[in-house]
Amino acid sequence: KPLAEPKREEKKAGAAGKRAPPKRKTESDEIPMFKVVLLGDEEYEEVHVCTQLEKIAQVDGAAAKRIFAEATGSGSSVICVVAEEVAEFYCQQFRRAEIYVIMEEDV
């Protein structure tokens, strides 16, 4: 037995019949992102800083050396851009390791 076609409702003309499509929210719309910035310091030991960058922020060895060199050369270097809670956590962990970092909102 063939199935009957579904009944179609007639659309009424006018503003009441039109709807704007819903706006899709993405994760980046809802969560503000923050940069974790390593501040340069002449007293840093490269091995210690690079080891902590790899351990805390999960950057690879080459990136850790680049970040360290940039921070000591120019005064600061962006380690990563993450959600606010993660940035706060990274800042706490770096401070425990006696490494100076700040977090600033990514615009």
pLDDT at site 3? 76
CA distance 78 to 74: 11
pLDDT, mean over the chain: 87
Record the pTM: 0.69
CA distance 27 to 57: 21
Asked if 76 and 66 count as a contact pair (C-beta separation under 8 A), the reply is no
pLDDT at site 10? 62
pLDDT at site 17? 59
Locus of tokens 């993405």: 26
pLDDT at site 20? 76
pLDDT at site 11? 59
